[in-house]
Amino acid sequence: MVIHHFTYGPVTPALAYVMSCTGSLLGLLCTSRAITFSGRSRARWLAFGAFAIGGTGVWGMHFIAMLGFTVGGATIRYDIPLTLLSAVISVAVVGIGLFVVDVGEIKPYALIIGGAITGVGVAAMHYTGMAAMHMNTTLRYDRHTVTASVLIAIAAAIAALWAAFRVRGNWATAGAALIMGVAVSSMHYTGMAALSVRGVASADSLPGAEPMQFLVPLIVGISLSTICLAIAVGTAPTAREIQARTELLDRIARRREGPWNGAAGTGAAGTGGRPVHGDPPGWRQPPGPRP
């Protein structure tokens, strides 16, 4: 039987690649903000990054590409719970990878562990999504090609995690997003190349929803969520702006802790505001009433 991965020509792979690049770009922007925060704010931006990369960049790319997948003479249906589970897996494993990697200083072992978890998880998302696809044929996978797709996913995940915490600057971030889009697409189509089909059975009792009736609303939903996230990222201060604000507040705090705020009886504060030996040149009485 003939398998078609590009039933509608270059439209679906092009849209899938754009979706992957968009999700990757948003994820990089979210993690660039995460490194300037700590605590809940950091966790929130990392969660946004996980949704952007895992939900939009990986899962969204996969199922847009699957719209172009057909098999001559076969009927395709999708299991709804398994398809939704694949989305949860994708977001969860990317989130785990982001939290495993140390934000302050990337350690090689953390990068490898986080990349391995994320890569295997992305591959699990792919094959869970494939398992959600019911066909009136027998599906088979070439194990060597499947292994290659998993290795590509791990390598792509390591590169993505490194880029998430190290790449800065508009052009560098955009270039990293384009490369991540290529990596995710390569993993997907390598995994699809492992698939073969045998035989045709009756499709009368085939369970599940038709691709256009089920996948299209899901993709529209995740696209709208991505737009909302893009608006949130666009209106939030950039990492450089956050850092500049933090440095400004630090300078203000240091000036407020000048020599007149020392302990009583020492320096200017203990002499009624009069300069004493050791006061910096150009010292002036701080504003406010003299003691």
pLDDT in tens, 31-66: 888 877 778 888 888 899 999 999 999 999 998 998
Specify if 77 maps to a domain: yes
Q: Are strands 138-141 and 195-198 parallel, antiparallel or unpaired?
A: antiparallel
Query: What's the pLDDT tens digit per position in 175-230?
Result: 888 988 999 999 999 999 998 888 766 656 677 778 777 788 888 888 898 898 88
What residue type is assigned to position 93 of the chain?
A: V
With respect to residue 26, please indicate whether it lies within any of the assigned structural domains: yes
Question: Does some domain include residue 199?
Answer: yes
Model confidence at 259: pLDDT above 70: no
Is pLDDT of 243 > 60? yes
Out of 71-80, 86-95, 102-111, 249-258, the most confident range is: 86-95
List Cα–Cα distances, 26 to 33, 94, 161, 176, 219, in angstroms. Answer: 11, 14, 14, 11, 17
Domain count, the chain: 1
In a domain, 249, yes or no: no
Full residue range of the structural domain in which residue 72 is found: 3-243
Residue 124 lies in a domain: yes
Q: Please state, in angstroms and rounded to a whole number, the distance separating the CA atoms of residues 188 and 127.
A: 10
Rounded to 10 degrees, the C-alpha dihedral 68/55/57/101 comes to -150
Domain membership flag for residue 286:
no
Q: Residue 32 and residue 52: Cα distance in Å, rounded?
A: 13
Query: The pTM is what?
Result: 0.77
Residue 230 lies inside a defined structural domain of this protein: yes
- Please, which residues bridge with residue 134 across strands? 77
Q: CA–CA distance from 287 to each of 227, 258, 279, 284, 291 (Å)?
A: 50, 12, 17, 9, 12
pLDDT digits (tens, 9 = 90+) for 167-186: 777 788 888 889 889 999 99
